[in-house]
A and B are shown apart, each in its own frame.
Chain A
Amino acid sequence: DAKTTQPNSMESNEEEPVHLPCNHSTISGTDYIHWYRQLPSQGPEYVIHGLTSNVNNRMASLAIAEDRKSSTLILHRATLRDAAVYYCILSTSGTYKYIFGTGTRLKVLA
């Protein structure tokens, strides 16, 4: 299974942009890059996903490197409600299993 590497934790000030990196050097050509976040005592919730091109939605933007070996989740203006663990996951072609890495615990400072 292709693996992802993320920093264990990051801090951001409220109202400032946050860039959460993810390395996935063993990604295969058909793997999608998914981002989910988990608030305390809740199940993960979908944030964004992409294949090759950068993606934008209401919650965030996803910037994917040209070689696809890394990606960055961008929260344009962090709020206290964005404090969560953010997981970068590759969809494993053929098995459809999600293998969670350690994720990045984002702390937002008021």
Chain B
Amino acid sequence: GAVVSQHPSWVICKSGTSVKIECRSLDFQATTMFWYRQFPKQSLMLMATSNEGSKATYEQGVEKDKFLINHASLTLSTLTVTSAHPEDSSFYICSARLNPDGYTFGSGTRLTVV
């Protein structure tokens, strides 16, 4: 089946630094990808929708300057958390839309900001 490879699986960074998370679609082209954030014991919260070659669409309350999304190719989308702070510590998950319907999800990235 269609697989999205997400890296890194976990990362620890210092407060004030930036972290990049990558999601690659394997064996298929992902025109549309989504980024979610999940806090412990909570559900997934959609952060943004990215379409290849165009600007991402952010959900209400998500800072676009803090969470930079790039979807420059049909197989790669990246999320960069800029100037990370401890409150950005979370589990970040990407997903890709499949044709004709359904989605496949990455394995997630656990970000810890110290």
- Assembled-state Cα–Cα distance A65/B102 (Å): 21
Contact A42:B97 (CB < 8 A) given known A96-B32, A97-B46, A102-B43: no
B80 at interface by CB-CB < 8 Å: no
Please tell me which one of the listed residues A91, A98, A103 contacts residue B95 in the complex, with CB atoms under 8 A apart: A98
List the B residue with the shortest CB-CB distance to A102: B43
Considering the complex, give the chain A residue whose CB is closest to the CB of B44: A100
Contacts of A43 in B (CB 8 A): 6, 93, 95, 105-108
Instruction: Indicate if A99 sits at the interface (CB-CB under 8 A).
Output: yes
Q: Tell whether, in the assembled complex, residue B43 and residue A46 are in contact, meaning their CB atoms are under 8 Å apart.
A: no
Per the CB 8 Å criterion, the residue count for chain B at the interface is 22
CB-CB contacts below 8 Å: B68-114 with A: 91, 93, 95, 97, 101-108, 110
B110, A96: Cβ atoms closer than 8 Å? no
Residues of chain B within 8 A (CB-CB) of A41 are 91, 108, 110
Chain A residues lying within 8 Å of B93, measured Cβ to Cβ, are 43-44
Which of under 10, 10 to 19, 20 to 34, or 35 or more describes the interface residues of A?
20 to 34
Cross-chain pairs A/B with CB under 8 angstroms, 24 sampled: A32-B101, A36-B105, A41-B91, A41-B108, A42-B107, A43-B6, A43-B95, A43-B105, A43-B106, A43-B108, A45-B105, A46-B102, A46-B104, A49-B101, A49-B102, A87-B43, A91-B101, A97-B34, A97-B49, A98-B46, A98-B103, A99-B46, A100-B36, A103-B43
Q: Which residues of A contact B (CB under 8 A)?
A: 32, 34, 36, 38, 41-46, 49, 87, 91, 96-103
